[in-house]
Amino acid sequence: MENKRKTIVRSFSLAKDLYNHHGHGMNPAKESELQAGAEFLE
């Protein structure tokens, strides 16, 4: 459960960074982490 919580926190942090920087230079690895967090929340 703790790992899932960390994934969610990381995903929200990445989403915030994406919003703040409008996605310029987004690392593909970060995109996959964000997707994993979004899938977990569904």
In 10 A of CB 10, how many CB atoms? Answer: 15
| DSSP codes of every residue in the chain | -HHHHHHHHHHHHHHHHHHHHTTTT--HHHHHHHHHHHHHH-
Question: Residue 6's pLDDT is what?
Answer: 83
Query: What does the block give as tokens for 31?
Result: 């995109």
The answer, yes or no, to whether residue 42 has pLDDT greater than 80, is no
Task: In whole angstroms, give the CA distance from residue 14 to residue 34.
Answer: 7
Question: Residue 22's pLDDT is what?
Answer: 60
Question: Residue 31's pLDDT is what?
Answer: 66
Question: What does pTM read for this prediction?
Answer: 0.40
3-40 pLDDT, tens per residue?
Answer: 888 888 888 887 777 666 665 555 656 667 777 767 77
Task: In whole angstroms, give the CA distance from residue 38 to residue 42.
Answer: 6
